[in-house]
Amino acid sequence: MSRFFATGSDSDSDTSSQEEIIPRQAAPIYTFSDDEEEVKRVVRSTKEKRYEELTNLIKLIRNYKKIKDMSSMLTSFEDLQRAYVKALPVVQKEEGGQTPRFYTRCLVELEDFIIEMWEDKDGRKNLSKNNSKSLASLRQKLRKYIKDFDEDITKFRENPDQPDDEEEEEKREPEPDSDSDVPVKPTIKTMKPIVRDEGDSSSDSEDWPSDSESSSGSSEDEEKFTSMRERFLKRTTEKDDDEDKEKKQKDERRKERKDRDKRKLRREDEEDEEGEWETVKGGVAIPSEKPKMFAKDAEIDLSLVVKKLSEIVAARGKKRTDRREQIELLHELQTIADQHNLGTAIGVKIKFAIISSIFDYNPKVSDAMKPEYWTNLIERMSEMLDMLQNYDSILISESVTEETERFDEAPYRIRGCVLTSLERLDDEFIKLLKECDPHSNEYVERLKDEAKVFAIITKVQKHLEVHGSQSEVCRIYLRKIEHLYYKFDPLVLQFKSGDIPSDTVTSMQEMERLCKYIYAKDATDRLRTRAILSHIYHHALHDNWFQARDLVLMSHLQETIQHSDPSTQILYNRMMAHLGLCAFRHANIKDAHNCLVDLMMTGKPKELLAQGLLPQRQHERSKEQEKIEKQRQMPFHMHINLELLECVYLVSAMLIEIPYMAAHEFDARRRMISKTFYQQLRSSERQSLVGPPESMREHVVAAAKSMRNGHWAACNSFIINEKMNTKVWDLFYQADAVRAMLTKLIKEETLRTYLFTYSHVYDSISMSTLAEMFELEKPVVHSIISKMIINEELMASLDDPSQTVVMHRSEPSRLQSLALQLADKINNFVDSNERILETKQGNFFLRNANQGGFRDRQNFRAGNVQDWSRQRRDNRRGEY
């Protein structure tokens, strides 16, 4: 574009160039300057092309260096080589066989970089496979290639600080001005010739050390730029006469820039003045201030206040606005308005402004606000809501435009959205909690505000139930649900056992009501999903196993949850964790295991539940990644105890796995039910000396071992003892019931294991002996054994008159079981043979039926069979 521009612009084009279009201007200016060298135009254009190619590639390589993208760098380097070969004739002509300095520089830098990378062994290890491969090949290639440039490089190394080309410096010049990067490229391209003419030795180039890192100019701040620019400008004024024109233009530009700066400054000054003016006011007592806020004799009425308010609000978001002062100013306005009894509507409006300015106070979204502002915020919010509640005639909505706002008479209309502010407030609260150390008093202090936030939510809910639309009500309900679902309400359990009158409203009923509304009215799927998940969580928390299970099954969320957003997935994981715990409490061990297995399999339940970040081994997180992940974390008071979770999971796995192991001792196709549990077992087996168990895992492993041997008492004492009680079991609400349930299950499963393991040494066992051994009721023993017989797990039958279990002694020996397995496999083989034949030729029974008709087709098919059998034969040949 620029070249096009250049040819089009003749000498008077610069006079016509408008001052307003500054970013564009950069291009014509420089092109103008090289109009003076029209002589070698044609030659230069090919050269330009080549050089541009080179510089672009070099730039790319620099970028890749910064992000350490070795594979891209390798390809770029190869391109660069190719481009240089192309450019070689030009270079020969122009530079007299000398390698251009910028090219040498690039090579040198690249070499340094590669060496550095190569040396940094730790860093190299962390590179991805692809990258490290590229690094190695790049290193080799570079070495080979550099040999050709040995001379140039040594020369360069002697004097590395010299600026290779001015292009970089020049490039930097337009940048601070230009809002778009359009002019940058043309500048580079067109500047090159000048630079070459000047040669490498510009007298004052020394005072600007060129370092390659800053060349991209991305990290500099404005001030640095201006200083550099000035220096540069100074230099340009010192340039030869033939650059006079350029200089002039630059001067012009500078002037103009100065003007703009001045203007800006003025504006800032204004703002500053305003700011200062306000600060003064903030300090002094109210009555004396009033004249400063408004003119001394001004009669304060509604319109004036509104005007003032909009004035203040207009400053919002501007760079130089002092946010704190804005808040104070608004408070001021509020008191004034109150003093003059200007009505509630304006009060609400001002409150709104205060709230949003408090939100604005914190410039970074990811950081929490300061506690003092937080308390302020809460107070304002609840004040505003109280006002709203007391006056029904106020309509707050986003659909009200600024123009249609009405503060003076009854159906007041105010622009704004309570719900959004509330949501923001709630988010801020969570952020605030996450900021605190969860084990400090501060956290507890903050957590006390939860009640206030909840009260505010309830107020907003009441407000919206009257005024809001359905979707708004859904949103506020979900907010409320999110404050409710994780809280355990002992009333619910009392309610269930009938200890309290049936008309009390427990959190269960509340949840039910809110969720049902959302199920019915919500139009977005997300709210509904979250409501269902929270609802299940709440049910599971309060031991409503069946309801929770049915909700899970009916919602079919398992199938679609992968496609939802991370925070919903986290909620799903949390729900699953609690569902697992609930199933465990209800002695549904299999369900508990199934619920928890997905969380535990990966070995990082902490991350899945968003209760902390784990260091990642494969690759570092980028800063942003980490920030995002941190935002997702749950505040501490909502955490699920991980040790409890793991313990429940391991114990469930033990109760399922150990009998299974005993039953399928010789089975080759035995599959692992729980990988994590196996890992624990194996790691303990690897130890040469096993001490008494210390941690929770060791306890479970020890219990598993004694269960395998049929010692139910030992197993029980490993699972339920002082240590485990304090660590795990006491965390349950009804810990004793859980323990009793566990003991019973341990007895039963140990009995099963015992029968599996030792049945081959018995001819018959008396059931009463078994009942005694395992301290179980006789009917229970009978039932367990019957079940095993029916399911053909135990080859035995009962002898009723003598109350014994008579073994059939028909468990296959090792050889027999192997033979059986072999038979199974052969069976499968024959089956698959038949299937192959069937698919190869279709259903042959059918074909036999209509053999007469389709000769052609038959022929075709027969051919297929032929092929197939040949193939088979080939295969067989291969086998032998």
* Spatial contact of 418 and 464, defined as CB atoms under 8 Å apart: yes
Q: Should residue 783 be labelled a site residue for another protein when binding is judged by CB under 8 A? A: yes
Give yes or no for residue 790 binding another protein (CB under 8 A).
yes
Task: Name the segment binding another protein (CB under 8 A); options: 361-369, 445-453, 633-641, 776-784.
Answer: 776-784
Residue 554 as a binder of another protein (CB under 8 A): the answer is yes
Torsion over CA: 27, 32, 37, 42 (sign): positive
Q: Which is nearer to another protein, 154 or 869 (CB)?
A: 869
Only one of the segments 332-340, 388-396, 414-422, 809-817 lies at the binding site for another protein (rule: CB under 8 A); that segment is 809-817
Touching another protein, residues 280-309 (CB under 8 A): none
Residue with tokens 């600024």: 402
**Taking contact as CB under 8 A, which single stretch among the options 255-263, 335-343, 378-386, 796-804 is the one that binds another protein?**
796-804
Pick the binder of another protein from 863, 871, 873, 874 (CB under 8 A): 863
State the number of binding residues for another protein (CB under 8 A).
Answer: 43
The 503-542 site mask, x for binding another protein (CB under 8 A), equals: ----------------------------------------
Instruction: Give the binding range for another protein (CB under 8 A) out of 119-127, 338-346, 712-720, 856-864.
Output: 856-864
Q: How far is the CB of 798 from another protein (least distance, A)?
A: 5
CB of 325 to another protein, least distance (A): 58
In the bound state with another protein, the residue whose beta carbon lies nearer, of 317 and 779, is: 779
Residue 674 and residue 680 in contact, taking contact as beta carbons nearer than 8 Å: no
Please identify, among the stretches 29-37, 191-199, 563-571, 792-800, the one whose residues bind another protein according to the rule CB under 8 A. Answer: 792-800
- In the window 821-840, what residues touch another protein (CB under 8 A)? 823-824, 826-827, 830, 833-834, 837
Is there a contact between 312 and 329 (Cβ–Cβ < 8 Å)?
yes
- Alpha-carbon distance of 342 to 301, in angstroms, equals 7
Q: Is 331 in the site for another protein (CB under 8 A)?
A: no
Distance CA 28, CA 1 (A): 10
Residue 587 as a binder of another protein (CB under 8 A): the answer is no
Between 48 and 811, whose beta carbon lies closer to another protein? Answer: 811
Q: Which is nearer to another protein, 60 or 806 (CB)?
A: 806
Indicate the Cα dihedral angle 190, 193, 198, 204, nearest 10°. Answer: 30
In the list 200, 292, 786, 793, the residue contacting another protein (rule: CB under 8 A) is: 786
Q: Smallest gap, in angstroms, from Cβ of residue 797 to another protein?
A: 4
Closest CA to 806 of 875, 855, 873, 759: 759
Does the footprint of another protein cover residue 858 (CB under 8 A)?
yes
CB contact at 8 A, 172 and 217: yes
Element of type H or E holding 766: strand 764-766
CB of 782 to another protein, least distance (A): 7
Longest dimension (CA), the chain: 126
- Nearer CB in complex with another protein: 162/803: 803
Residue number with CB closer to another protein (476 or 579)? 579
Choice between 46 and 841, CB closer to another protein: 841
Indicate the residue among 121 and 855 with the shorter CB distance to another protein.
855
Here the tokens at position 155 are 């020369």
Nearer to another protein, 277 or 546 (CB): 546
**Interface mask toward another protein for 723-762; x: CB under 8 A:** ----------------------------------------
Closest distance of CB 448 from another protein, Å: 39
- CA 100, CA 463: separation in Å to the nearest integer? 74
Place of tokens 């999971």: 649
Residue 537: Cβ within 10 Å count = 25
* Structure-block tokens of residue 159: 């004097």
Q: Is 779 in the site for another protein (CB under 8 A)?
A: yes
Least separation, in Å, of the C-beta of 780 and another protein? 9
| Pairing mode of beta strands 764-766, 804-807 | antiparallel
What is the nearest approach in angstroms of another protein to the Cβ of residue 805?
A: 10
Nearest residue (CB) to another protein, 144 versus 855: 855
Selected range binding another protein among 96-104, 476-484, 722-730, 805-813, rule: CB under 8 A: 805-813
Burial zone of 346 (CB within 10 Å; 0-12 exposed, 13-18 middle, 19+ buried): buried
Calculate the CA 527 to chain-centre distance: 20
Q: Are 243 and 33 in contact (CB under 8 A)?
A: yes
- Closer of 775 and 777 to another protein (Cβ): 777
The smaller minimum CB distance to another protein, of residues 508 and 600, is found at 508
Which residues have CB under 8 Å from 600's CB, separation 6+?
645, 646, 649, 674, 676
404 binds another protein (CB under 8 A): no
Contact with another protein (CB under 8 A): which of 800, 876, 877, 880?
800
Q: How far is the CB of 822 from another protein (least distance, A)?
A: 9
Beta strands at 412-415 and 394-397: parallel, antiparallel or unpaired: parallel
- Interstrand relation of 764-766 and 796-799 (parallel, antiparallel or unpaired): unpaired
Is 844 near another protein (CB under 8 A)?
yes
Q: Out of 124, 452, 711, 782, name the contact with another protein by CB under 8 A.
A: 782
Helices (H) and strands (E) counted in the chain, each on its own, are 42, 5
**DSSP string computed for 353-419:** HHHHHHHHH---SSSPPPHHHHHHHHHHHHHHHHHHHH-TTEEEETTS-TTT-B-SSSSEEEE--HH
Distance in Å, CB of 768 to another protein, minimum? 16
Stretch binding another protein (CB under 8 A), from 152-160, 400-408, 432-440, 813-821: 813-821
Pick between residue 642 and residue 798 the one whose CB is nearest to another protein.
Answer: 798
Rounded to whole angstroms, the Cα distance separating 867 from 118 reads: 57
| Distance in Å, CB of 843 to another protein, minimum | 12
- What token pair was written down for 555? 């919602």
Judged on CB neighbours under 10 Å (0-12, 13-18, 19+), 806 is middle
CB of 786 to another protein, least distance (A): 4
Q: What are the tokens at 726?
A: 């304090």
Binding of another protein by 813 (CB under 8 A):
yes
Are 465 and 473 a contacting pair, CB within 8 Å? yes
- We find the least distance from the C-beta atom of residue 425 to another protein, in angstroms, to be 37
For residues 487 and 516, which CB has a smaller minimum distance to another protein in the complex?
516
The reply to whether 817 sits near another protein by the rule CB under 8 A is yes
Q: How far is the CB of 740 from another protein (least distance, A)?
A: 19
Whether the CB-CB separation of 741 and 584 falls below 8 Å is answered with no
Task: For residue 133, give Cα distances in angstroms to 58, 123, 217, 477, 529.
Answer: 21, 14, 31, 55, 46
DSSP 569-617: HHHHHHHHHHHHHHHHHTT-HHHHHHHHHHHHHTS-HHHHTTS-PPPPS
The CA distance from 44 to 37, in Å, is: 10
Give CA–CA dist 830/837, Å, rounded: 11
What is the nearest approach in angstroms of another protein to the Cβ of residue 859? Answer: 5
- Structure tokens of 856? 């052609």
For residues 376 and 555, which CB has a smaller minimum distance to another protein in the complex?
555
Applying CB under 8 A, the residues found at the interface with another protein are: 546, 554, 779, 782-783, 786-787, 789-790, 795, 797-801, 806, 808, 810-813, 816-817, 819-820, 823-824, 826-827, 830, 833-834, 837, 841, 844, 855, 858-859, 862-863, 865-866, 869
